[in-house]
Amino acid sequence: MDKKEFRVLIKYCFLKGKNTVEAKTWLDAEFPDTAPEKSTIRYWYAKLRRGEMRTEDGERSGRPKEVIGFVVSDENF
């Protein structure tokens, strides 16, 4: 599972009224090798308590990790 899918599951636990320990226990049982750490679950619960319900990554400033479709040629320099 990717990060976004785990975030959705954490949000599900939050909305069902589970606390962070219950959420961690459930995620560990369902995804023993890939479940997020306690600190990740606490971080997302704090965001959800503040009303931040989006599970997608937000926009970031700065240089992107990679450039897609960029061709190096003499014209670029």
Domain locations along the chain: 3-49
Residues 69 and 63: their CA atoms lie apart, in Å, by 16
Nearest CA to 10 among 32, 34, 50, 18? 18
Mean pLDDT across 53-74 = 72
Q: Which CATH number fits domain 3-49: 1.10.150, 1.10.3470, 3.30.310, 1.10.10?
A: 1.10.10
The model carries a pTM of 0.74
User: pLDDT for 7-59, tens place per residue?
Assistant: 999 999 999 999 999 999 999 999 999 999 999 999 999 999 999 998 887 77
